[in-house]
Structure 1
């Protein structure tokens, strides 16, 4: 009986903590009406993660990596260059915020809430896409250095200072960590795409009074929180693998 009571208490405190956390998240949400077409940005993010996945690491290690092909034809940079120009500062700011706080070993929840405050004026789907874009920049730069360091002197020197060369040297031993990292990235990307697709459903065919829609809407803040939290965890793990932060 005592054990059952203890379990009940844990569930109660867990639910209480979760509720308090979601109230914190909701308190940061102050959309100012700005519209962001997140679809093309999401396409770029997906392209970065696809090319950054070290599935062909043997080619990198042996210096036999083939020249990467151009961006997919369905991603037109010219079509939304103006929008990216407006958002580049925000993406850069988030990227720096994640980098600095994770490098210092800051509290993951505090870092997550700082990102919510930075993105308070955006819609939920835009928050998720922009935060994922900031992480994609960091992660993409990491693997870009790894891919180029065997045949580019500048990349090699930078890789040495950032200890990327050590990661390549011990890649086989680190592979389980990178596999786990890539699995989490895939989950974050899939969840973000799901939220974006949900937000883009034609409003004329959806009743906001529908129970299913209300339930889905209620879960979006939590989805955003755990996406942000996972981004912080992924970047912290990347720093740990390079030795730039204590594990």
Structure 2
């Protein structure tokens, strides 16, 4: 009987020091020091709102799995059309300005996740790429970059039975055989979907803080001080979760159906837990 060898990066992941200290991450911890040192906003995103871009990300996440009956979907109450958003002031200009960083980060995620780079190093590298943006813009751009990878994966998965082009691409990605393993794939992809939902929830909270009328709320109030202290860590762990999700998808593509056995559900659950706590903290501050 053939022996299945588990690649090193598929081994169960243990909580590292940074993971155990997720809720005590202050400016003094080495991990957050590294992330904060990359943060050098230069006002490049001050002229536009990234919320419409975030709404596109939500659309992609929703529509990606809307035809898969056994997946618990990430839904939105109101899914507006792209045509409606295109009429918003500055929408097209915003997309033009962010197209390059989205593409750059998407390529960075794909390459480093395929190469087995560790999560913190990849996340830090993304932060360096996006150093000139505010915290809310960083996380939305990173989510958009992930949505490109995630959306392309599911677009091929949905169309390969009906489109000759998608079928050829699917075979190169080893998707047909992988998708047939519904018994193994279902619980593992559902954990991935739940993590993505937690990522969207935290990002929604971060964007709501930006919408607060700062002329009536000073930054030294307890609520704002709490939010400002947690938002950098919340952005970091959302990006770290993006890297974890992308790694799962890239490994499914690169390793085929065998990888389904080794999808790291534990990491997805752990990151989901982190992000849920951040959501609770930020929501309590908001409300």
Q: Decide which of 7, 13, 20 is 2:30's aligned counterpart.
A: 20
Going from structure 1 to structure 2, the CA distance change for 1:20 and 1:199 (only over 3 Å counts) comes to same
The SS at the match of 2:133 is coil
Pairs within 5 Å for 1:45-60: 45-53=57-65, 55-57=66-68
The SS at the match of 2:42 is coil
Name 1:221's counterpart in structure 2.
232
- Bigger radius of gyration: 1
Q: Decide which of 73, 76, 79 is 2:85's aligned counterpart.
A: 76
Name 1:3's counterpart in structure 2.
none
Going from structure 1 to structure 2, the CA distance change for 1:43 and 1:160 (only over 3 Å counts) comes to same
Asked if 2 retains the 8 angstrom alpha-carbon contact of 1:112 and 1:228, the reply is yes
**Which structure has more RCO (C-alpha within 8 Å, separation ≥ 6)?**
1
Bigger shift: residues 233-242 or 188-197: 233-242
Separation of aligned partners in 2, 1:171 and 1:38: 36
Bigger shift: residues 75-84 or 186-195: 75-84
Separation of aligned partners in 2, 1:119 and 1:197: 21
Q: Deviations over 1:108-151 (max 9, x none)?
A: 11101000000000000000000000000100000000111110
> Unaligned regions of 5+ residues in structure 2, if any?
1-16, 71-78, 263-287
Separation of aligned partners in 2, 1:176 and 1:106: 25
Bigger shift: residues 165-174 or 177-186: 165-174
Name 2:73's counterpart in structure 1.
none
Name 1:241's counterpart in structure 2.
252
C-alpha deviation, 1:156, in angstroms:
0.4
Separation of aligned partners in 2, 1:103 and 1:201: 39
Q: Decide which of 96, 115, 118 is 2:126's aligned counterpart.
A: 115
Name 1:63's counterpart in structure 2.
none
Going from structure 1 to structure 2, the CA distance change for 1:154 and 1:200 (only over 3 Å counts) comes to same
Give TM-score scaled by structure 1 length.
Answer: 0.84
RMSD between aligned alpha carbons? 2.4
> Unaligned regions of 5+ residues in structure 1, if any?
1-9, 60-69
Asked if 1 retains the 8 angstrom alpha-carbon contact of 2:25 and 2:32, the reply is no
Name 2:274's counterpart in structure 1.
none
Asked if 2 retains the 8 angstrom alpha-carbon contact of 1:40 and 1:75, the reply is no
C-alpha deviation, 1:71, in angstroms:
5.7
Name 1:191's counterpart in structure 2.
202
More helix by share: 1
Q: Deviations over 1:202-233 (max 9, x none)?
A: 11121212011111101011001101100000
